[in-house]
Amino acid sequence: MQAYGDSFAHLYNLNWGFFAEKIAPKLIDFYTSQFKVSKNEPILDICCGNGHLTQLFNREGIPVVGLDLSEPMLALAAERNQAAVETGMAEFVQGDAADFTFERTFNYVVSTFDALNHLESFDALAGCFDSVYDVLNKEGWFVFDLNTRLGLRRWSGIHVDNANDETFIVTRGIIDEYNDVAYTQITAFMQQDDGLYTRNEETVYNTIFQLQDVKDELEEIGFREVHFSTLDTFPTPEQEPESFGKIIVFAKK
């Protein structure tokens, strides 16, 4: 699993919280429709990043345990949610999404913003599914999103983003369809307190997973109900998931 360093964690914090804002209301509505929500029963957020999703769940009175491999991301998450950490509404734990365990169990496990595409292989993804299954209560739900092959093809080429005054970002994407992986080189110029800019570079990868293989593996592990949806049709099943750039996966134990 790719773990982000200090510079990229800060860059992510400044620029990429928007997806949490989009998906959180849908995740919360689905959770509250399936379970009697209790302030004593946290959900688990795998690859919690900077804790933006935690903050949005906490606003609805739902506690969160966040798991991430990156120490800088966890530090930002704890800073963002300091009051919630102090009251026990939020907890952040370092761990690998491909192989983790908890003494407690959960009714609801989520992972968002195509975080699981950053697992290096299908075996690692299967390890994540195994780990989730072991910490999920019976009748519990695992909900996560993935970039599809179609979605990752759209990352190819060069893109420039200067959406805020603090950063100027150039991304260069290439997809290796033979090896089912997409690489994105991110060059970011970040403004410092003195007004000058520093240059930071990070190369991130996304593994392409065949969605039928994903469904088969989840069912092989023991999930009883598996279907695909999209952000727009959430949580209604889609019959041709590979025709969308991003898919939401629902798996019930």
SS3 assignment for 41-84: CCEEEECCCCCHHHHHHHHCCCCEEEEECCHHHHHHHHHHCHHH
Q: Above 60 in pLDDT, residue 13?
A: no
In which element (H, E) is residue 125 found? helix 122-135
What tokens does 103 get?
A: 């003494």
- The pLDDT of residue 1 is 60
What tokens does 83 get?
A: 């009051």
Banded pLDDT at 157 (limits 50, 70, 90): confident
Banded pLDDT at 178 (limits 50, 70, 90): very high
With contact defined as beta carbons under 8 Å apart, do 194 and 174 qualify?
no
Q: Find the mean pLDDT for residues 138-145.
A: 97
Q: Find the mean pLDDT for residues 55-78.
A: 95
Is the model more confident about 242 or about 155?
242
Q: Above 70 in pLDDT, residue 12?
A: no
Q: Above 80 in pLDDT, residue 222?
A: yes
Average pLDDT score, the chain: 90
